[in-house]
Structure formats: structure tokens, C-alpha cells
Structure 1
Amino acid sequence: MPAKILWVVNYDDVHDFADQAEAVGATGVAVRTDNDLGRAIDVFHDRGMQVFGWRWPSAKRDPAMREAEKVASAFVAGLDGYYVDPEGAPGRPYDWDQPGLEALADDFCRLVVDAAAGRVFGTTSHYRAAAVFADLPWQVFFSHADVLLPQAYWRVEGGVVGHGIPEDNYRKSLAFWAAAGADPALLVPMAGELAFARPREIAAYAEVAVAEGIDELHFYTYLDSVTEAVWTAVRDA
């Protein structure tokens, strides 16, 4: 069955989020790990949906490994998978675009993958990969992942990304990640951001996924400001 995953940063009420996920036909949700994962697991499993955690972890060893340990505990509680989101962020504690972080990345991934015990472990980040974050330890994260999620967003809060064309960013994300060493068979580009998307763009994103033979759709992110027309397009995707 094709997968449709609705991502979220934070929510006011987990049941409202679950209602929307159910309404658009989501098969699962990706919940940032600073939410109550245990409660989300209970609520979504009761509705027949999977729950994946996600987070951009710190690039500092102690807090990074605390995140990995938190995820390991969530797997014990029934978490269905986890997506790590290493990003470049100069001057911030979660800046992974620095040389010398390979060992930390490996330790982080190993702890999570061991706890996952065959459940999903994925990596997501900027759609241009090493072309924008040259020092990020891409190969380490790729080597542990069984799904790779380039953020092929075409419009975000800061404005248009690339040329603002879903099909173009989708295909470019495949090329950029493959150039960084990703296995093309594992690539599943993400759509976003929903709050700034138009219905026809959601349809175009789904159409290019079909054309590329990819049967998994990821939508970033659930917000109250997403229009009903966009939600309908996500439902129909």
C-alpha cells in the first residue's frame, strides 16, 4: 500500500492533529520528538496509523546522544520509525555542516538503528545535499538509513525555493542526493511547506512521484494555517 506521511512540528491537541491526518488519508505521521511521543503512539495506533519520530539533533556529543537514547526508549514504547534531520546552521549547536563529525554521526545512528530493530530509520535534509552543506557527514547518515528524504520544498516561509516548481525541485533533489552518494532506490522526496503551497502544486508533486516510480508521499507540515483547498489536494494525492 502506498504510504502518505503527514509531518508536524508541534500541535495544540493531538486529537485535532489525528483528525486531520485521518481526513487526508495519511498512513502515518512524523512527530518531532519534543512532543509527547508516547501519547501520540497510543492515539495514532488506535486509528491504524504509524508514528515516526523526527528531529534535527545537536551536533554536540552529549545532547546528540541524549536524543538517540530518547528515541531508543520511544521504540520500546512502540515507535514505528525515526527520521534524523542533520542540517547546516552556522553558529548553532545543531550545525552538522562541519568537518570531524563522522564519529558522532555514526554513534548516533548506530544507537537508534540498534533500538529500531528493523523498523524504519531515515535521513532528511536540504534538497541540494552536499551542494549546500559540503562538510555535513552525508555518507555516514546515508549508510545507516533505509529511506532518504530530500526536502524538495518549492515554497517556504522565506519565499520561493529554486524556481518554485514542484516537479523541478523533486527531480533536482534526486540528482543532488545521488551526487552526494545516496542510493537512488532509497530516495523519497518530501513536499512542502503546506502553509505556502497551492492545491495544483500538491497534485504536481504527487504526479511526479508516480512518474518516478515512487509510491511514498511526505507532506511538511501540519498547521492551522493550511487552507482547506490544500488539505483536499493532500487527501486526493
Structure 2
Amino acid sequence: MASYGSDDLTPVLAAQPAPGVGYRQGVIRSWNTQTAENTVDVGGTLVTNLPILNTNEAVLLAPGDVVGILSTGGPVSSWAILGRLTIPGSDAAASALRMVSSRIVAARDDAMGTRNSDTYGDLSGASVGPSVSVRISSSGMALVFWSADAGKIAWRRISTGGTSVAVSGATTIAANAAFSLGQYLEHPVSGDPGAAVVAGGLQAAMMHLFTGLNPGINTFTLKYRHAGAWAGEGAVEFQQREIAVFAL
């Protein structure tokens, strides 16, 4: 197994005789997304840790990708990965274009709606969402940011207004309190349901890294809940709702 064992890129960048400069193709057999350590099959020979000339694509490379390789006619230590070979219209091409263009998709809805259920769902009196649809690459990852203004939260004992994200399309993930923007409210009272009524509000933002997503079009939609509410406390009002998805 051939190996490139040095951090010195001088052999790659140094001038080479024109007849010695060449081009080859290889197939990624292993790729460490954290360190870019790699194994590439070049004509049946496994070459380890080739340097990368197009570092923008380093986060996109994965086993099975076909890559172009600059060779000098000299030892393997002077070779370097130029980048992936992609077919126009394919997921690989789309993910490459996102590196320099629309990798972040966002939507916003300022309208006010209400929720008076302790399960995640859509608002009453307002449109669903907001939501955005993005194409997820073979990385299976997306960094999602969302925010909302939860107001007029009235409670006698314990309640909370919360927003989370549901994923649909190529992947199905339910909105979950484990990745929720919420506020826990409690006021000491006596009696049942209690004598004191207190109101409050919160405007804040949340983020969550979704992993294990299926490649293809995935839709991310804001969902809402009013957990722990007592009868007569009223619904939570949500407005200035926004979501942004960064496809990795």
C-alpha cells in the first residue's frame, strides 16, 4: 500500500517537467470527515493520505466517490487529489454547488397563531410552519436554526411554550422535546388549580444538528406546543417565527 506520509506539499507544488505531469482517476475507499485521512484506489493500488488541492470539497468526499488525481510521473508522494468527478443534475453535483451558493435556506412568518396542546403540532389561526425543503447529500447532516416569540403564557402551576422541528420527505423525524426551544414556568400557589395567575413571554433561538438523514429532499417544519397547561389558562401565542437550514 502506497502512502503519503508528510505534511510538506513542496513535492506537489514544485515545478515538474511537462512530460511528467499527468492525470489519473481514483475511487475513495475510506475518508475521515474530521481529519481528511483517506485511502484511494488508483488502478487497483490502494494509496493512503493523498493531499487535497481543492479543500472546499474535503467535507463532501465519501467512500465510493470518483476523484481526479494530479500525478507527476514520479513517486506517489507527489500525487494529489484534484476533486470529485460529478455528473450534472446529480446529488453530488448539487452538493458541490451548495458549497458556494444556496447551502442555507430560510423562511419566516411573522403572523401570530396559538397552541393549547401539550403535543407538538400546528398553530391555530396561522399558517403551518414556516418550513423549508432542502436536498440533503450523502453526509446525512443538516444544521437547523429556529426562533419564535412565545407570548402571553399564563399559568397557575406549571406550563411551557415550546417550538421544535419535524422532518418529512426523504426522512421522517417527529418534533421532539430533546431538541426544543421552550420555557419552563412555575409559580407557587395554593388550592386547585391555584389562586395566582402569572403571565410571561420569551423570544429566543435554538439550533440542532440533524444526523442520519436520508439523501434527497427533506422538509423541515416548525411545530409548537403548550405543555403542562391547566384548564382555563389559555393558549400560548407564537409569532415572528423563523427557520433556517444549513445543508452540510
Greater RCO (CA < 8 Å, at least 6 residues apart): 2
Please report the TM-score for the alignment, with normalisation by the length of structure 1. 0.22
Task: Give the greater-gyration-radius structure (CA).
Answer: 2
Higher strand share: 2
Higher helix share: 1
